[in-house]
Amino acid sequence: MKKTMVYLTEEQALLLKKKSLETGGSAASLIREAVDKYIKNQKEEKDYFSFVGIAEGPKDEAVSENVEKTLKQIIK
């Protein structure tokens, strides 16, 4: 495990302390759990359309008319 320092507002510190007393867990374990959830959510959020319009499509196809087919080929 790696030790780090986190600066919290007074309100955050009080709420964290309250939550740790309620759950019987340490503040550090609650922070680790929150970081894990945040990171997992970030990985799950994919912007599949961020690339739309930034490149040329297939030469002999009407990409705008076949967008779903094209996306399925790209996002396998």
Give the integer Cα–Cα distance in Å for 52 and 44. Answer: 19
Q: What is the mean pLDDT of the chain?
A: 82
Contact partners, residue 19, CB within 8 Å, separation at least 6? 30
Give the integer Cα–Cα distance in Å for 76 and 73. Answer: 6
Q: What are the structural domain ranges in the chain?
A: 10-74
The gap between the terminal CA atoms of the chain, to the nearest Å, is 36
Give the integer Cα–Cα distance in Å for 13 and 7. Answer: 9
> Which pLDDT tens digit goes with each residue over 39-70?
888 776 666 666 666 556 666 666 667 777 77
